[in-house]
Amino acid sequence: MILESIDMLPATLHLATTSEGAYWILLGRLHPMLVHFPIALILVAAVLELVLLVRRPERPAPTASLCVWVGTIFACISIWCGWALGEESGGGDVLELHRWFGVAAGGVLLCVTACWLIERASQARWSFQSYRFGLWGGAVLLVITSSFGGDMVWGDNWLTGPLTAQSSVEPAPSEPDQTAAAPTPATPQASTLEGDVVALFTERCEQCHGPTKQRGDLQLIPLHMAFPTTNDVAAMVDPGNPDASELYKRITLPKDHDDRMPPKGEPLTAEEVELVHSWIAAGAPHGPQQEQPAEDVAASDDPPVISDAVAFDAGLQAIIDRGGVVTALHQGSHWYEVNVAIAKPTWTDSDLDLLKPISGNLWSLNLGRSDVTDAGMTVIANCTGLRVLKLNGTSIGDAGVHSLAGLKSLQRLNLYGTQVGDASIDTIEALPALTHVYLWDTRVTRLGIDTLRVGRPGMKVDAGAGLGAPPPEEAPEPAPEDAPAPAPAEPEAETAAATLPPCCQAAADRGEECDHVCCVEARAKGEICSKCAVEG
């Protein structure tokens, strides 16, 4: 874990070493290295006091007291660092839960230390009991907080996943069954295979093998980077020969194998493994995507040439002087990440002009919690190479999103906590390279979310637990005055119409909604999927 934490530090902070914002970001990135120590101390103290219940002590145990004090101090420091890390990374429902449960745990632990001081001074019975129960409550809060932190690092339900994996995940096949009685589906067209593989690799592999990090010198996003042009790096894919491809071998290894891919979270499902197998067997096509014309695809993962280095560096320095943090994407790269989310005073539309000298070389831009408006998005629209854009916590609305329609290379868009509504769905859906969009706590309705998920099934749409705001209710049309009253519905027919298909009923029992594409489309029309109802 310590090595992973160190790996999070940027390779270089270009011109940002004297910026207060850079130190704030560095402080935040210490959080993963600090957080485990206080958790262990508080849990040890809680267990000690629990075990000592059999002796009925009247004073706090000395060892537990030491653990409480040291653990509380480091917990407060860790919470402070974690808050700074959250400011850098943007928003999200799991992040917010992790933050506020952590703050609650820190508050409870501070109360525990106060009760300890009162007990030492007065030896009041109530203070000892408050200390003990507060310690146990704080330990429980820390466990819950840690669970949310694990979800962010390892994926959803990482703690309880093994308990449900036995019934929900099929084992990955080592080889396709050539003797199966069921007919083998026809091999999809190369372009369809390629698009599905890109969506899969973006979802499961980009964090370790994407543009910003290449573990083991392997890059899978963009897809053509998986095919090295030199002999310096061994090829992981042997086009046309899945069984000889190292990539296919890794994804079919047992779950507990050290070389399994992906190393975190659940293994690929049987369908996902078969998709990779079919893609490699079809020759591993990795040309431009169908939905991205060749001239729009970031075939230019190489940044534009900087014609005037002096003016360019002056532009970077101007951003830093205004409180922003400028980071090179990697050592020697001319792609840059700019973070102004923690700048004081907050950025406004007029400050966006500072981005113009470096607009062509912007890879990532974080404007979270700034005072930018829709009018300022015309400047961002000129950052045509932008891959990541964070607008969380701003007043951006539909007009601002419409201005971003020309960002053909944009892959991640964070609109959490903005004023965006359903009018932006068509624009978001039309962004050809977009793989992740965050719409939690916006004005987008459930219908808008479902529409986007149906239109772009390969895109990850994070709408939070509420799946967007409820759609506006339409007033019923008044019936003609002379129209006869409708006949009462037959009870049997009403019961039949209200019966959900088995897949929808199973999802409803879990407190969720069925994610089958056919059911999503039917639900968007206010209907029940007839296909699934018949099959049930």
Full DSSP string of 62-73:
HHHHHHHHHHHH
Q: Last residue of some domain: 441, 462, 483?
A: 462
Least confident of 370-384, 434-448, 496-510: 496-510
Token pair listed for 139: 């330990």
Estimate the share of the chain in helix, then strand, then coil, as percent rounded to the nearest 5.
50, 5, 45
The stretch 389-410 carries a mean pLDDT of 93
User: Alpha-carbon distance 220 to 280, whole Å?
Assistant: 14
Q: With b meaning 16 or more CB within 10 Å and e meaning fewer, what string describes 409-433?
A: bbbbbbbbbbbbbbebbeebbebbb
Confidence class of residue 114 from pLDDT cuts 50, 70 and 90? very high
The stretch 353-373 carries a mean pLDDT of 92
Residue 470 lies in a domain: no
Q: Residue 174 carries which side chain, given as an amino acid letter?
A: S
What does each C-alpha distance from 193 to 37, 256, 274, 278, 282 come to in angstroms? 46, 29, 11, 8, 9
Closest CA to 292 of 191, 427, 426: 191
Confidence class of residue 290 from pLDDT cuts 50, 70 and 90? very low
Whether residue 327 has pLDDT greater than 80: yes
- Whole-prediction pTM value? 0.46
- Identify whether residues 322 and 446 lie together within a single domain: yes
Could you read off the pLDDT of 478-513 as tens digits, one per residue?
444 444 444 444 444 333 334 667 777 777 666 667
Domain membership of residue 366 as a residue range: 309-462
- Identify whether residues 327 and 456 lie together within a single domain: yes
Pick the residue with more confidence: 212 or 38? 38
CATH assignment at residue 443: 3.80.10.10
Max mean pLDDT among 23-37, 90-104, 244-258, 369-383 falls in 369-383
Residue 45 lies in a domain: yes
Q: What is the DSSP letter of 263?
A: S
Closest CA to 327 of 71, 61, 93, 29: 29
Whether residue 345 has pLDDT greater than 80: yes
Q: What is the DSSP letter of 423?
A: G
User: Alpha-carbon distance 199 to 220, whole Å?
Assistant: 11
H or E segment and range at residue 388: strand 388-390
- Identify whether residues 147 and 199 lie together within a single domain: no
pLDDT at 479: 47
Domain count for the chain: 4
Residue 304 lies in a domain: no
Residue 298 lies in a domain: no
Q: Last residue of some domain: 142, 160, 178?
A: 160
Residue 231 lies in a domain: yes
- Identify whether residues 130 and 249 lie together within a single domain: no
Could you read off the pLDDT of 196-247 as tens digits, one per residue?
888 888 777 877 776 656 666 677 777 777 776 655 456 788 888 888 888 8
- Identify whether residues 324 and 451 lie together within a single domain: yes
What does pLDDT average to over the chain? Answer: 76
Residue 88 lies in a domain: yes
pLDDT at 157: 58
pLDDT at 204: 78
Chain mean position to CA 530: 33
- Identify whether residues 251 and 134 lie together within a single domain: no
Pick the residue with more confidence: 516 or 83? 83
Confidence class of residue 191 from pLDDT cuts 50, 70 and 90? low
The stretch 331-350 carries a mean pLDDT of 88
* DSSP SS3 for 438: strand
- Identify whether residues 314 and 455 lie together within a single domain: yes
% of the chain residues with pLDDT over 90: 29
Following CA atoms 290, 293, 299, 305 in sequence, which dihedral angle do they give, to the nearest 10 degrees?
Answer: -170
Whether residue 466 has pLDDT greater than 80: no
Residue 69 lies in a domain: yes
Q: Could you tell me where the beta strands, DSSP code E, fall in 406-533? A: 412-414, 436-438, 460-462
The stretch 449-463 carries a mean pLDDT of 86
Pick the residue with more confidence: 217 or 3? 217
Residues 6+ apart with CB under 8 A from 251: 172, 260, 261, 262, 267, 268, 273, 276
The stretch 170-196 carries a mean pLDDT of 47
Q: Last residue of some domain: 160, 179, 201?
A: 160
pLDDT at 9: 40
- Identify whether residues 387 and 434 lie together within a single domain: yes
Residue 287 lies in a domain: no
The stretch 311-335 carries a mean pLDDT of 88
Contact 409, 434 (CB under 8 A): no
- Identify whether residues 237 and 382 lie together within a single domain: no
- Identify whether residues 152 and 199 lie together within a single domain: no
- Identify whether residues 77 and 138 lie together within a single domain: yes
- Identify whether residues 275 and 326 lie together within a single domain: no
Residues 6+ apart with CB under 8 A from 425: 444, 448, 451, 452
pLDDT at 154: 64
Count CB-CB contacts under 10 A for residue 78: 23
User: Alpha-carbon distance 149 to 145, whole Å?
Assistant: 6
